[in-house]
Amino acid sequence: MNKESVNNQIIISIKNLCKHFPVKNVWGTDVALVKALDGVDLEIESGKTFGIVGESGCGKTTLMRTLLRLVEPTSGSVVLSEEITKNQFLSNSLEELTSEELRSFRRQIGVVFQDPMGALNPRMLIKDIVSEPLVIHGKTKEIREKVISLLNNVGLGEEHMYRYPHEFSGGQRQRIVIARALALDPKILVLDEPTSALDVSVQAQILNLLNDLQKKYELTYIFISHDLSVIEYMCDRLAVMYLGKVVEEADTEELFSNPQHPYTKALLSATPNFEKHKEKIMILGDVPSPITYLDQTKAELATEITEQERLEIKTIEGKGIDYIVRSSLNEVLPLKEVGTSHYARVK
């Protein structure tokens, strides 16, 4: 079958999703909000890899945790396709699922986080780690065969079953995490910085393994990374996040060849091997605080150009480098269509 006819189906739609964490003073009164996620809309296409890129603290993990309902969103919704609900749920809105339906939804999403050591219980044997989801969901029939086949899938084998996580290298541990994530035959894998803790050579092996598994099981990937070269290699489409918002979204090739938002341009210009993007753009200042003060005077103070930014502007002036002051990125413009399925928050 031709690939186009199988895909082009939306498996999950995220609509205006917000997660605001309250900041309290010592008396327990709310004084500010951390807008970790601030109105995110995304459509995830079935069988493809959707990338989410952005600096540390921009809300990537919160997006995933909210999607998995590990945290309750402040507002917004997640709409599931028939591929997930199989028409057996009473509702296709994630927030309206019964606890039984939520369990079934979670079975369909495997999760791989950055730190494989943290994800693996050091006192459990590999066979128990990989079979744990099967046991929890009562699928214990032929469990030994299933574990062996899961390990084979990720390039490990029967000989690894009776070992502990510390006996493995970082890359092998991530393979174990991937084997476990696939235990319940999920449709979607959420990969949150899956290779960030690994050496570059090992990174490539894990990325290739993920590509092979995607083909074999027609998986949909939601792939989070702060590393643009990894994102370019892995993703069909991607969203660039900044302070809880998507500032640009497009197919990978389009985004890399024709970036529109100043933040995307700056990210690309900071990546060593993108000569094709010749403009040199520097981002000045630290990542601004995602805190929004409820007190208006404090809120205004927080968006002024800082002394440090003034100094940085002085040092690069006249050196042929364009610059972006962080606080200027805080201006919120609506997402505008700037090309074929290419959106950016630009004037």
What are the residues binding Mg ion (CB under 5 A)?
60-61
Q: Which does 62 bind (CB under 5 to 8 A by kind): ligand ADP, Mg ion, none?
A: ligand ADP
Closest CB 57 distance from ligand ADP, rounded Å: 4
Which one, 85 or 225, has the nearer CB to Mg ion? 225
242: its two tokens: 């900044």
> Binding string to ligand ADP for residues 109 to 148, with x set by CB under 6 A, is what?
----------------------------------------
Q: Which does 36 bind (CB under 5 to 8 A by kind): Mg ion, ligand ADP, none?
A: ligand ADP
In the beta sheet, which residues pair with residue 23?
32
Which one, 67 or 344, has the nearer CB to Mg ion? 67
34 binds ligand ADP (CB under 6 A): yes
In the beta sheet, which residues pair with residue 246?
241
293 binds ligand ADP (CB under 6 A): no
Q: How many residues bind ligand ADP (CB under 6 A)?
A: 12
285 binds ligand ADP (CB under 6 A): no
57 binds ligand ADP (CB under 6 A): yes
58 binds ligand ADP (CB under 6 A): yes
Which amino acid belongs to residue 289? S
In the beta sheet, which residues pair with residue 77?
15
How far apart are alpha carbons 214 and 41 in whole angstroms? 24
Look at the alpha carbons of 157, 162, 167, 170 in this order and tell me if their dihedral is positive or negative.
positive
Size of the chain in residues = 347
Q: Which does 53 bind (CB under 5 to 8 A by kind): Mg ion, ligand ADP, none?
A: none
CB 160 within 8 A of CB 196: no
Judged by CB under 6 A, the residue of 36, 111, 129, 188 near ligand ADP is: 36
For the purposes of burial, counting CB atoms within 10 Å of the CB of 208, is it exposed (0-12), middle (13-18) or buried (19 or more)?
Answer: exposed
Give residue 155's Cα distance to chain centre.
25
Q: Kindly report the backbone phi and psi dihedral angles of residue 79, in degrees, each rounded to the nearest multiple of 5, phi listed first.
A: -105, 125
Judged by CB under 6 A, the residue of 56, 87, 296, 340 near ligand ADP is: 56
Judged by CB under 6 A, the residue of 13, 15, 21, 327 near ligand ADP is: 21
Q: Which does 34 bind (CB under 5 to 8 A by kind): ligand ADP, Mg ion, none?
A: ligand ADP
Provide the strand spans (E) within the chain: 10-24, 30-45, 49-53, 75-80, 109-112, 188-192, 220-225, 237-242, 245-251, 281-284, 291-293, 322-325, 336-339, 342-344
47: its two tokens: 């069988």
Closest CB 238 distance from Mg ion, rounded Å: 16
How far apart are alpha carbons 241 and 250 in whole angstroms? 12
239 binds ligand ADP (CB under 6 A): no
The interface region with ligand ADP, picked from 55-63, 86-94, 127-135, 261-269 by CB under 6 A, is 55-63
Closest CB 101 distance from Mg ion, rounded Å: 27
